[in-house]
Amino acid sequence: MRATPVSFTEDQMASVKFGADGLVPAIVQDATDGCVLMLGYMDSEALRRTLDTGRSWFWSRSRQEYWCKGETSGDRQWVRSVSYDCDGDALLLVVDQDGRGACHTGERTCFYRSFGPDAGSS
């Protein structure tokens, strides 16, 4: 797949309201079928890197560092669009997902467990 940078205006960038911790949640959705793959967090720099490179960049709250999805695993995300919500405090990325999927467990989506009588609890 090929990286396609997303152009943006500073007005658009200014519409994003980062929280007290400097972060906004970013939902990642598969372009092929709409499957919600994962949720990560971006600060201003991660968002700019995402738009500039056409790859998904996040801020890891646990490791306190930037990470580019799939850089080590190979499960890369090629960004097709980036939207922000009415309040400007959440992002939605639509991506082409490489490899097995988005989850480090090997599942396609991180949301592979559901509440319910027959659902796994582990």
Binding site residues, its own copies, CB under 8 A: 6-9, 11-12, 15, 25, 27, 29, 33-36, 38-39, 51, 81-87, 90, 92, 103-105, 107, 110-117, 119, 121
Tell me the residue type at 5. Answer: P
Report the residue count for the chain.
Answer: 122
- Smallest gap, in angstroms, from Cβ of residue 20 to its own copies? 10
Judged by beta carbon, residue 68 or residue 103, the one nearer its own copies is 103
Burial of 33 (0-12, 13-18, 19+ CB in 10 A): exposed
Q: Check: CB of residue 37 under 8 Å from CB of residue 108.
A: yes
Q: Which is closer to its own copies, CB of 2 or CB of 9?
A: 9
